């Protein structure tokens, strides 16, 4: 019996051209994070399950986590998300650090999902978090960063939008105005979270099951009808919301306006985020392409992440953005460069076995200069050389035939201009200058 050559269900093999695309994606993520002064961190692949039990939503623990007992009977899980890990790490060191703490990571994560478009079992996720920033500042910076990230990929406001909401507003509406207790509030949160994915009839049915009174229904319908900062402001005023909620909203939208960022945003009351730890602003970045209407990133503010470690509350704001949905977004908008061939400087060939050692020496000398050098082992016929060199993405080809070997020379050909020059093998500096 022979073994399967396929990767495990829901995971991917990254052959070189796939990996070049992934590395490009990582490089833009890193560049953007560094532009905002975020520092890279990483954590373990495995954490004890208690950490997720304390921090993530129910669904994640029950159905989606890769958990098992290790050989020492510890209950562990492959990380399904990074936030619990970063909370643990910040809890360890925050006393010694100047605030705010700005961190990012790009871990591989696993969730036990039914593989489908945009959703796999293993993916990479760009995570950015700011801890300990004054109220409102962290939110603004994180949103600016996520916009800059997509701009650094070449995207603009016709291609994506940020749907934004605030848990404190939702809490005010649900708990204060609709008068729901904790249990029914929690259920309504879950219903709102799912509302985009179901039909209006299915939504109505779910809401009906909560047995809301007519006043509560009315408020809820007004809430769901909000579709702009202006609408929300109007609702908060007409429902007599505390001055703080109203001022926050005004000040926040004014800042977005002054920073010329308002064009990226739309107020959306159905954005609440599934995970339980958000306490303030919540947002999702949506693809505007009609064939790919889905979230490519989500995040928000949380104030209690460190509580499970018996640490004082510290405000945090963060977001996650996965490589699978991002790649779908970049592809549908034709923003992903072509990674078919690698990038190399020179393809070294010899047409006589005698020249082998000279060819390797030349290769090693050019590597000392930092060039990317591919050598072809064994005699290579002239007519095959250029096709192979192009497949290797080489800019130049070195040729050593019988004559060149006898004279200790090498021919160097530029593959785009087709110019060819002869050099003495011992004159590495001239060869190198010619290649730049």
Residue numbers 5-24 binding a second copy by CB under 8 A: 5, 7-9, 11-16, 19-20, 22-23
Q: Angle, nearest 10°, between helix axes 200-208 and 182-194?
A: 170
Backbone angles phi, psi at 356, to 5 degrees: -55, -55
Region 208-247 residues binding a second copy, contact defined as CB under 8 A: none
Site for a second copy (CB under 8 A): which residue of 24, 41, 386, 432?
Answer: 41
Q: Give the separation between CA 292 and CA 229, rounded to whole angstroms.
A: 25
Tell me if 391 contacts a second copy by CB under 8 A.
Answer: yes
| CA 272 vs CA 8, 56, 82, 276, 407: distances in Å | 33, 15, 19, 9, 75
Site for a second copy (CB under 8 A): which residue of 76, 188, 203, 317?
Answer: 76
Region 85-124 residues binding a second copy, contact defined as CB under 8 A: 88-89, 91-93, 98, 100, 102-103, 108, 110, 112, 122
Region 290-349 residues binding a second copy, contact defined as CB under 8 A: 308-310, 342, 344
Long-range contacts of 189-197 (CB under 8 A, 24+ apart): 189/272, 190/274, 192/269, 192/270, 192/272, 193/270, 193/272, 193/273, 193/274, 195/224, 195/270, 196/270
Number of Cβ within a 10 Å radius of residue 144: 15
Span of 64-72, 196-204, 213-221, 312-320 interacting with a second copy by CB under 8 A:
64-72
Site for a second copy (CB under 8 A): which residue of 392, 411, 414, 435?
Answer: 392
Least distance from a second copy to the Cβ atom of residue 262, Å: 13
Least distance from a second copy to the Cβ atom of residue 42, Å: 4
Site for a second copy (CB under 8 A): which residue of 62, 71, 290, 312?
Answer: 71
Residue with tokens 């940020």: 162
Pairing of strands 160-166, 265-267: parallel
Tell me if 435 contacts a second copy by CB under 8 A.
Answer: no
Smaller CB separation from a second copy, 231 or 356: 356
Provide the CB-side half-sphere exposure for 224 (13 A, CA). 17
199: left (phi over 0), alpha (psi -120 to 50) or beta: beta
Least distance from a second copy to the Cβ atom of residue 277, Å: 14
Per-residue mark of binding to a second copy, 347-376 (x: CB under 8 A):
----------x--xx--x--x--xxxxxx-
Site for a second copy (CB under 8 A): which residue of 27, 58, 59, 70?
Answer: 70
Least distance from a second copy to the Cβ atom of residue 104, Å: 10
Least distance from a second copy to the Cβ atom of residue 138, Å: 8
3-state SS assignment for residue 349: coil
Span of 72-80, 199-207, 227-235, 242-250 interacting with a second copy by CB under 8 A:
72-80
Q: Give the separation between CA 194 and CA 231, rounded to whole angstroms.
A: 22
* Cα-trace Rg, the chain: 28
Smaller CB separation from a second copy, 21 or 169: 21
How far, rounded to the nearest angstrom, does the alpha carbon of residue 35 sit from its chain's CA centroid? Answer: 16
Smaller CB separation from a second copy, 258 or 291: 258
Region 120-179 residues binding a second copy, contact defined as CB under 8 A: 122, 133-134, 137, 140-141, 144, 148
Q: What 8-state DSSP symbol labels residue 4? A: P
Burial 340-353 (b: 16+ CB within 10 A, else e): eeeebbbbbbbbbe
Q: What 8-state DSSP symbol labels residue 320? A: E
Least distance from a second copy to the Cβ atom of residue 111, Å: 11
Least distance from a second copy to the Cβ atom of residue 343, Å: 8
Span of 61-69, 218-226, 281-289, 322-330 interacting with a second copy by CB under 8 A:
61-69
**DSSP states along 50-85:** HHHHHHS-HHIIIII-EEEE-TT--EEEE-S-SHHH
Tell me if 250 contacts a second copy by CB under 8 A.
Answer: no
């Amino acid at each position: 019996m022979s073994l399967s050559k396929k990767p495990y269900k829901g995971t991917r093999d990254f052959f070189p051209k796939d990996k070049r695309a992934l590395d490009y994606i990582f490089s833009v993520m890193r560049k953007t994070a560094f532009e905002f002064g975020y520092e890279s961190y990483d954590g373990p692949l495995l954490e004890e399950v208690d950490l997720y039990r304390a921090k993530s939503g129910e669904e994640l623990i029950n159905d989606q986590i890769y958990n098992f007992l290790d050989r020492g009977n510890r209950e562990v899980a492959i990380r399904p998300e990074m936030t619990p890990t970063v909370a643990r790490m910040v809890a360890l060191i925050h006393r010694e650090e100047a605030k705010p703490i700005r961190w990012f990571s790009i871990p591989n994560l696993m969730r036990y999902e039914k593989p489908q478009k945009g959703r796999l079992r293993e993916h990479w996720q760009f995570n950015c978090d700011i801890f300990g920033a004054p109220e409102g500042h962290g939110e603004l910076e994180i949103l600016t960063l996520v916009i800059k990230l997509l701009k650094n990929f070449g995207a603009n406001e016709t291609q994506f939008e940020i749907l934004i909401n605030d848990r404190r507003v939702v809490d005010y509406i649900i708990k204060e105005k609709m008068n729901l207790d904790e249990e029914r509030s929690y259920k309504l949160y879950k219903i709102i979270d799912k509302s985009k994915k179901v039909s209006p009839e299915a939504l109505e049915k779910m809401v009906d099951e909560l047995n809301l009174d007519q006043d509560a229904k009315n408020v809820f319908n007004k809430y769901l009808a909000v579709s702009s900062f202006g609408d929300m402001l109007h609702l908060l005023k007409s429902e007599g919301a505390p001055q703080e909620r109203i001022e926050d909203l005004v000040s926040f939208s004014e800042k977005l306006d002054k920073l010329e960022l308002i064009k990226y945003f739309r107020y959306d009351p159905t954005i609440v985020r599934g995970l339980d730890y958000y306490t303030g602003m919540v947002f999702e970045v949506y693809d505007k392409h009609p064939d790919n209407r889905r979230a490519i990133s989500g995040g928000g503010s949380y104030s209690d992440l460190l509580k499970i470690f018996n640490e004082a509350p510290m405000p945090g704001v963060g977001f996650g953005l996965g490589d699978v949905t991002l790649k779908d977004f970049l592809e549908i908008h034709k923003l992903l460069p072509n990674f078919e061939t690698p990038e190399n400087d020179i393809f070294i060939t010899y047409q006589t076995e005698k020249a082998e050692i000279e060819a390797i020496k030349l290769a090693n000398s050019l590597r000392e200069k930092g060039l990317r050098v591919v050598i072809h082992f064994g005699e290579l016929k002239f007519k095959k050389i250029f096709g192979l060199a192009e497949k290797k993405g080489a800019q130049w080809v070195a040729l050593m035939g019988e004559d060149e070997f006898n004279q200790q020379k090498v021919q160097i050909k530029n593959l785009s201009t087709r110019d060819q020059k002869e050099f003495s093998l011992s004159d590495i500096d001239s060869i190198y200058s010619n290649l730049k």
